[in-house]
Amino acid sequence: MIYFDNSATTKPYKEVLDSYVKVSSDYFGNPSSLHSAGAQAEKLLSRARAELAKLMNVKANEIYFTSGGTEGNNLAIKGAALAYKGRGRHIITTQVEHTSVREAIEQLKRDYGFNVTYIAPDSDGRVRITDIEKAITDETMLVSVIHVNNEVGTIQPICEIGHMLKNYHKIIFHVDHVQGIGKVPLDMYECGIGLCTISGHKFHGLKGTGALFVKGGLTLSPLFSGGNQESKIRSGTENVAGMVAMAKAMRMTFSKREEHLQQMEAIKEKLREELQTIVGVKIHTPRKFSAPHILNFSIKGFKAEVFVHALEEEGVYVSTTSACSSKQKTASSTLLAMGVPDDEAGSAVRISLSYDNTVEEAGQVIDTIKNAIDKLGRVMN
């Protein structure tokens, strides 16, 4: 099996699984309990929080554990909007956000009367800072922009946006960093970020783990009511083993980035060059300002889901749009916003890499793609 669908989820490192099992077995106490078993669990949780904070170059008390990207985005957006609605009821976001951002904002619009401005991207999927600034009004209290687009890999100008927003002191800046963490560095303080979402299973941690950076001084309206865990921002008994495992996964991923980033970039470039030689293939991921692990392309005349299954039969795993939307069988909203025609958007396939993939695998995948095109072409004709 060649697994090239790492933006959907990554395979947990063995060391991460071992860590999860050990903590679950030996330190299973509730971290809120007063006895020694609870104290041991609480100590491990604090260590995991401190390690994540160190790797992200922020303070430990600015890290709040969640169940992943969807919860983190919802907590950041709804929590900030409801806590600071007195500042205004206008939100600015982009047309290329993940559904967990888009739907959270739409709920605020529908149920709480917020106004929303969606910034259109250019043909590379990148938004212009001037367009965001032009959209700011006296009512604007939140700007939410994805760092690395989960479908085409475009990197947004986060730091430039953050620097511009420093001139608007009442606006909170939220960044969905789920696809960027471990691949594209991001400095929370330098970039003026107030809220930032990450998800453990995108960097070889476990599903159901994640964290939200909340800059000191900000508060959020909680989504959950209950036991007041996570400084009352996120109630619910903490997943100690999962968070310890996530901290280990992040440490290992950051280490692998130093060792294998150039290899990942070489694999992506080989895939791009080979795909460009295939008749009917159009690449949508821009060459400039794109993450090292995502490559999105269309194959003229083939539906994306048919082609994905054809590759699967040969042991190659890729995806269509984002994993959260792939079963809906609708064209990518990101590609449509970029101006890609409907038929091309409907045939788009995403390859996404990890630091464990090899150049040899890339060569095999290209051969498999060529064979699948030939085979499906004969069937259709």
Virtual CA dihedral for 361, 284, 263, 364, nearest 10 degrees? 10
- Give the C-alpha separation, 199 to 68, whole Å: 5
- Give the C-alpha separation, 205 to 259, whole Å: 19
Residue 206 to residues 86, 209, 231, Cα–Cα distance (Å): 38, 6, 23
Instruction: Count other Cβ atoms within 10 Å, centred on residue 252.
Output: 18
Q: CA angle 77-81-82, nearest 5°?
A: 120
Q: Which of 11, 37, 10 is nearest to 24 (CA)?
A: 37
Q: Which helix (H) or strand (E) holds 157?
A: none
Altogether, the residues listed in the chain come to a count of 381
Max CA-CA distance within the chain? 71
Sheet holding 172-176, edge to edge: 63-66, 210-214, 195-199, 172-176, 140-146, 90-94, 115-119
C-beta of residue 1 within 8 angstroms of C-beta of residue 317:
yes
Q: Which positions ≥6 away from 258 have C-beta within 8 Å?
A: none
- Give the C-alpha separation, 105 to 82, whole Å: 12
What does the DSSP 8-state code read for residue 121?
P
C-beta of residue 86 within 8 angstroms of C-beta of residue 116:
no
324 tagged catalytic:
yes
Amino acid occupying residue 278: I
Any idea which residues carry the catalytic annotation?
Answer: 324
